[in-house]
Every structure is written in C-alpha cells, then in structure tokens.
Amino acid sequence: MSSPILKDRKILLAVTGGIAAYKSLEVVRRLRSEDASVTVLMTEASTRFVTPLTFESLSGNRVYTDVFSSPLVHISLPEEAHAFLIAPATANTIGKIASGIADDMVTLSLLAFRGPVLYAPAMNQRMYEHPLVRRNMNTLGEMGYEEIPPEEGGLACGGYGVGRMASAERIIEALKGRLCRKDMAGLKVLVTAGPTREYIDPVRFISNRSSGKMGHALCRVAMRRGADVTLVSGPTAEGPPHGVRLLRVETAEEMLEAVRRHAAEVQLLVMAAAVADFVPESRSSTKVDKGGGLTLRLRPSADIIKTVSAMKRRPFVIGFSAETGPEIDRAGEKLRQKGMDFIVFNDVTFNGAGFDSDMNRISIIDSGGVTDYPLMSKEECAEVIFDRYLERRGGVGG
Ligand SMILES: Cc1cc2nc3c(=O)[nH]c(=O)nc-3n(C[C@H](O)[C@H](O)[C@H](O)COP(=O)(O)O)c2cc1C
C-alpha cells in the first residue's frame, strides 16, 4: 500500500545467488509502485537464476553485475543511495560481508555505502541454523545491518522449515520502517479496526461494510514511526500488521471490553472500527426457522468512545465518523457529545474512497475547526492523523 516514505528514494537492491532471486522481481515492482528509484546489483551466481534483463526491464535502470566493466560505479551509486537492500542474501554473501571481503559488485558497493542496510536471508534451514552463518549474522547485526528474518514454510530444496525469504510485502515494510522518522517512539497506541458482528442466532449476524483497511494502515504507520501498537480488530480479510499485538473480537460488546481493558495503559486511542450502532435485543440459541418471517427488535449498542472518554485516566481519543454525504456537522456534533479530542470525518460515498478502497478523503475536526485533505492513500491519511496528534500532544492524556 502506497505511502510517501519511499517516494523519490534511491534504493540499491543487491541480488545474490539463491532460488529466491525470482521473488526480488516482486520487490522491484513494489518499490517502483511506491515511486522509489531502484538500481539492481547482481552477483555472478544470481544471474544464473534470473537474468539481468528482467531486473533491468522492471526497474527501468541499468543492472550492474561486473565491477570491471563498470568502473567506479561501486563508489558513485552507493554515494547517492538512501538504502542498501540485499534480497535474497545467500550464506556465501553474508559470510563475505562479515569478513570484509569485497570481490564483487555487491560486496564492494556495500563497503562504499553509508546508510541503512537491510538483508533478507534465504537458504535451507540447516544452513540458516549453522553456527558459522549465525556468527556471521551476529557480525552484521553489530554493524547495525538489519535482518529481515526468513519465514517458515516449504523450502525450494523440498524440505520444510525456517529459511524461505521474507515476502516482498514484509521486505518493503521493513524498508519503510527503517527510512521513516521515529517520532512516535515510546508511545503506546490502541487502534480499533473493522466491523463488528451482532448475532441474531448462531449462524446469522448483522454487520457492516468496513474492511478494516483504515485501521490496519494506522497500525502499520504507528509501528513504523516507533509506537508500541495494540490492535483490537473485528473480523476482516486484512492480515495483521507484522509486530502488532492483535486482539480479535467479534461483537461490539467484546470490542468495548477489550478497549476498556487496555485504554488506561495507552496514551492514544484511535477508534477506526465501524462498531455496530444497533444490536438485536435478543439472540436465539438455535437457528431461527425461516417459516413465518422474522421481525427484529434492535437496541442501541454501548458507546465505546463515550465510555472511554468518561474514564478517569483516559488516553487522547481520536474517533472516526463515516457518513454517506457531506454531513460534516453531524461529525462535529459527535465530537462534542462524546468528548473526543478530535474526529476524522469521511464521506464513504465519495468516488474512489471509503469502504474496501485503499484510498480515503478525510477532514479532521477539532475544537479549532475543520481541516480538509485531498484524496490520499489510507497510509497517507494515517500519517496526517498522527502528525496532527503529535502537534496536539500535551493536551488530555498526552
Ligand atoms: C539450485 C541452487 C540453489 C541455491 N540456493 C541457495 C539459497 O537459497 N541460499 C544460499 O545461501 N545459497 C544457495 N545456493 C548456493 C549459492 O548459489 C552459492 O553459494 C553461490 O556461490 C552464491 O554466490 P553469491 O553469494 O555470490 O551470490 C544455491 C545453489 C544452487 C545451485
């Protein structure tokens, strides 16, 4: 998902000789879609797995494999780059770097680079666990080089275990985390996301169209900026952001309980979940028969934000107001009634934004007035929401 962090950043991507080299094509594609500029360096061995032509076509830049046919590129490219990413990183290249060897385009360029270095090991599990590889990786850690750990799963050699290169998504997330400012370090943040389900009987429920994407984007951005994040999430198709503490809930009642339990421990609560406004007055313990139709009586659900706002030791509270039209006055009313610190208004009927979309168009309303923002990715929205919070910090619970 697009965010401004990688825009116009120059990334050196070093590809070494493992089967996972083909997965780095996806890394290049994603970097390009984030408007980063990517230059690929390849070891001789890696060109046996994927051709430089493929990386050249995808990156739109020349690929460098041989130090002697491109003299001094190993000095000029690292000088301009913002990050050095090695993916996949073979046991061989990790060992060479740990010993200071510089006999190819990758290892040589690395020595000329000053800045964040990340590497994604990929190898058979026994190799990954070998004491020599561990020792070499410790040396890289002491240099401040960040490992993007491999995942568990089926390995190309036919075995199963830890050794599979991290997904392109995790690699990009790690890179963003490294290049992003850490102005939320030390902050504890609680985010709610997704819809709730209010059961009519054991198989049927009332829910809403929330995808959880805005809440998950808030978590990713807060994590990157250094916060300690707990996510209370209703049922969504979104994978939980890496490193977040996840509490899964289903009903509005469960969400209220989870938020109440954790709200006093955090400095900031962001209520991005679409909590049911109405819940069935009663829930049948058996499946309701179709014959004869069904009349439902609904009652208003417990108001989570109001409950938290009334707490003695309460966090800074940011609410969301999703409306079907430019009903910004209603959002302003909610802000006053519920005692939030500010509210994020969005019109879910706006073309290209809202439910299930990666984009949103928000307005932030607080006691000082309304600030409108253009259509942005949900990660960009999360960035401005946290910027605004940091500006306001020092207020209630701050
Ligand atoms: C089919 C095949 C797959 C390989 N996969 C890996 C791998 O996943 N990880 C690894 O560390 N080495 C792997 N190797 C070994 C490396 O290619 C070898 O150590 C090579 O010298 C690495 O060179 P480089 O680090 O300069 O790219 C593989 C070799 C072959 C033939």
The whole-angstrom separation of Cα 177 and Cα 87 is: 17
Least confident of 23-37, 60-74, 292-306: 292-306
Classify residue 191 by its DSSP letter: E
N-terminal to C-terminal alpha carbon distance within the chain? 30
Q: Is the CB of 47 under 6 A from ligand 1?
A: no
Q: Over the stretch 35-75, which tens digit does the pLDDT of each residue have?
A: 999 999 999 999 999 999 999 999 999 999 999 999 999 99
Q: Is the CB of 93 under 6 A from ligand 1?
A: yes
Q: Which amino acid is at 38?
A: V
Q: Is the CB of 43 under 6 A from ligand 1?
A: yes
The whole-angstrom separation of Cα 343 and Cα 354 is: 16
- Distance from Cα 126 to the centre of ligand 1, integer Å: 14
Q: Would the pLDDT of 148 be above 50?
A: yes
Angle subtended at Cα 284 by Cα 280 and Cα 289, rounded to the nearest 5 degrees: 110
Select from 283, 261, 366 the least CA-distant residue to 321. 366
Q: Is the CB of 136 under 6 A from ligand 1?
A: no
Q: Give me the pLDDT at residue 266, please.
A: 97
Q: Give me the pLDDT at residue 398, please.
A: 42
Q: Give me the pLDDT at residue 397, please.
A: 42
Q: How confident is the model at residue 395 (pLDDT cuts 50, 70, 90)?
A: very low
CATH class of the domain comprising 188-392: alpha beta
Select from 231, 234, 205 the least CA-distant residue to 218. 231
Select from 230, 306, 244 the least CA-distant residue to 275. 306
Angle subtended at Cα 273 by Cα 271 and Cα 276, rounded to the nearest 5 degrees: 120
Q: Give me the pLDDT at residue 32, please.
A: 97
Q: What is the mean pLDDT of residues 233-261?
A: 94
Residue nearest to atom 26 of ligand 1 (CA): 43
The whole-angstrom separation of Cα 276 and Cα 162 is: 41
Residue nearest to atom 28 of ligand 1 (CA): 18
- Distance from Cα 45 to the centre of ligand 1, integer Å: 7
Q: Would the pLDDT of 269 be above 60?
A: yes
Token digits for 36? 């980063």
Q: Which atom of ligand 1 is nearest to the CA of 127?
A: 11
The whole-angstrom separation of Cα 261 and Cα 256 is: 9
Cβ neighbours for 152, distance < 8 A, ≥ 6 positions apart: 160, 161, 162, 164
Q: Is the CB of 46 under 6 A from ligand 1?
A: yes
Q: Over the stretch 154-209, which tens digit does the pLDDT of each residue have?
A: 877 777 888 999 999 999 999 999 999 999 999 999 999 999 999 999 999 999 99
Fold equal for 4-179 and 188-392:
yes
Q: Which amino acid is at 315?
A: P
Cβ(35)–Cβ(7) under 8 Å? yes
Cβ neighbours for 239, distance < 8 A, ≥ 6 positions apart: none
Q: Is the CB of 121 under 6 A from ligand 1?
A: no
Residue 157 is among the residues annotated as catalytic for this protein: yes
Q: Is the CB of 18 under 6 A from ligand 1?
A: yes
State the residue for tokens 């509210």: 343
- Distance from Cα 124 to the centre of ligand 1, integer Å: 10
Provide the phi-psi class of 161: left if phi over 0, else alpha when psi is between -120 and 50, else beta. left
Provide the phi-psi class of 108: left if phi over 0, else alpha when psi is between -120 and 50, else beta. alpha
List strand residue ranges (DSSP E) for 16-94, in order: 37-42, 83-89
Q: Ligand 1 pocket test: which of 13, 90, 140, 164 has the largest number of ligand atoms within 8 Å of its C-beta?
A: 90
- SS3 at position 97: helix
Q: Would the pLDDT of 250 be above 90?
A: yes
Q: Give me the pLDDT at residue 203, please.
A: 94
Strand partners, 302: none
Q: How confident is the model at residue 326 (pLDDT cuts 50, 70, 90)?
A: low
- Distance from Cα 352 to the centre of ligand 1, integer Å: 45
**10-15/83-89 β-pairing:** parallel
Q: Over the stretch 330-389, which tens digit does the pLDDT of each residue have?
A: 777 888 888 889 999 987 776 766 667 888 899 999 988 899 999 999 999 999 999 999
User: For the chain, what are the domain ranges?
Assistant: 4-179, 188-392
Within 10 angstroms of residue 199's Cβ, the number of other Cβ atoms is 16
> What percentage of the chain reaches a pLDDT higher than 90?
77
Please give the residue that has the higher pLDDT: either 120 or 241: 120
- Distance from Cα 209 to the centre of ligand 1, integer Å: 47
Q: Would the pLDDT of 97 be above 90?
A: yes
Q: Give me the pLDDT at residue 88, please.
A: 98
Cβ(104)–Cβ(43) under 8 Å? yes
CATH fold for domain 4-179: Rossmann fold (3.40.50)
State the residue for tokens 């959002």: 331
**245-248/198-199 β-pairing:** unpaired
Q: Which atom of ligand 1 is nearest to the CA of 90?
A: 11
Q: Would the pLDDT of 23 be above 70?
A: yes
Provide the phi-psi class of 186: left if phi over 0, else alpha when psi is between -120 and 50, else beta. left
**342-347/362-366 β-pairing:** antiparallel
Q: Is the CB of 17 under 6 A from ligand 1?
A: yes
